[in-house]
Chain A
Amino acid sequence: MNRDTSPFRPASTGASPTPKHASLTASTNLRYSLTRKSIYDRHLNRTKTSELSKSAFAFLFGEMVQHAQKKVYGVQDLEKKLNQHGYAVGQRFLELLLWREGRTAKRETRILGILQFISHSLYRAIFQKPADTLEKVRENEDEYMISDNDPLVNSYISVPKEMSQLNCAAFIAGIIEAVLDGHCFPAKVTAHTAPSDMWPGRTVFLIKFEPEVLEREGLRHGST
């Protein structure tokens, strides 16, 4: 593998050693690459247009699910774990995405704005297509739904019968939750399987905002 593209390079050099470990690094040379280049010397647009192999991703994702499964007691617990994994991705992806927009980057300050950002910009950046629908739940003021007819992460996941409640797109729900949290719209996001005749794998992400979000929206912008 080409040294430049090695995924381990940033990890080995990104953080400088704390004083406690300073002597350790001097003797083992573990934390510095031979070229002495660090994560800070790498351009953030380097991988902007490069595509990831779907099978490689499916393999890694499958392993991640299996790994998470070993440490949990039930379906809910497992989904929570997947959500947490996604959350870490979302936190990073949000900043990266805004950085790439450059000077035109905007922070979203309205509920609708941030939801559109997620279902269009974010979804397109990750999956190269916008989310299929964005709807408001009619019965509840604080709930919205984003649906994906065929989530990429589920393409090679077959859920066993006894775990029929499980939807591994909880990972994507985690990404969405991180983006909402980052913009100060705290919410709970959950993934639900909602098959239609045409799309057996259709997944709905249910977004339930915390009450303070609606309160703020009302105070700042009048009733919406």
Chain B
Amino acid sequence: MAGSTTSYYFVIIGTKDNPLYEAEFGTFKQGGDGVPKFREEQRHMNQFIAHSSLDCIEDLQWASKEMYLKTVDKFNNTWVSCFLTGGNIKFLLLHDARSDEPIRQFFTDVYDLYCKTLMNPFYEVNMAIRSQTFDQKIKAAAKKYL
């Protein structure tokens, strides 16, 4: 990445490989301002990278019992980290530096938020998550850990 600060792309994928939620954010560490610095052509590349990593995940998910699969794929300078829930919902994070532990903490928070979303009787599995509160809380978690 051109700048010195890192940018992240985060997406939640449903059981039918359908996206439920996506977000981009920058880091607040190292004096970052939290604004994603993806170049315009990189933004749609992110979606392709995330999509292509699904095949890797499908293979890896039977080799390990862990929910946090760590980095599952790499494309040029972009790493893909994955967290797989019991209901086969995938959380994918694209990042350009390896750091397993903060990402685990971030995913744990996301899982908490996802479970809460699921507790809503009007929400069903595989429905897109449009809640503004959810969005705010995800961004807050990203600010805290990434």
Contact = CB atoms under 8 A, between A and B. Distances in A.
Nearest to B87: A182
B137 interface: yes
Interface of A is mostly: helix
Contacts of B88: 182-184
Interface string A103-119: 10111110000000000
A9 B86 CA distance: 26
A183 B89 CA distance: 10
A196 interface: no
A39 to B, nearest CB: 5
Contacts of A106: 65-67
B116 A44 contact: yes
Listed residue (A107, A183, A184) with the most chain B CB atoms within 10 angstroms of its CB? A107
B120 A10 contact: yes
Interface residues of A, number: 31
Interface of B is mostly: loop
Listed residue (B85, B119, B122) with the most chain A CB atoms within 10 angstroms of its CB? B119
**Band of interface residues on B:** 20 to 34
Interface string B78-91: 00000011111100
A107 B61 contact: yes
B118 to A, nearest CB: 5
A24 interface: no
A216 interface: yes
Interface string B117-146: 111111111000011111001000000000
Contacts of A91: 87, 118, 125
Contacts of B114: 95
A40 B137 contact: yes
Contacts of B120: 10-11, 14-15, 39
B111 interface: yes
A30 B50 CA distance: 38
Contacts of B125: 91
B45 interface: no
Closest CB pairs A-B (n = 5) = A14-B120, A182-B87, A98-B86, A16-B131, A106-B65
Given A39-B116, A91-B125, A105 B62 contact: no
Contacts of B64: 109
Interface of A: 10-11, 14-16, 18, 38-40, 42, 44, 88, 91-92, 94-99, 103, 105-109, 182-184, 216, 220
11 contacts: A39-B116, A40-B113, A92-B118, A98-B67, A98-B85, A98-B86, A106-B67, A109-B65, A182-B87, A183-B88, A184-B88
B41 interface: no
Contacts of A39: 116-117, 119-120
A96 B87 CA distance: 10
Nearest to B126: A91
Given A105-B67, A107-B67, A88 B124 contact: yes
B65 A95 contact: no
Listed residue (B61, B67, B116, B124) with the most chain A CB atoms within 10 angstroms of its CB? B116
Given A107-B67, A182-B86, A182-B87, A15 B122 contact: yes
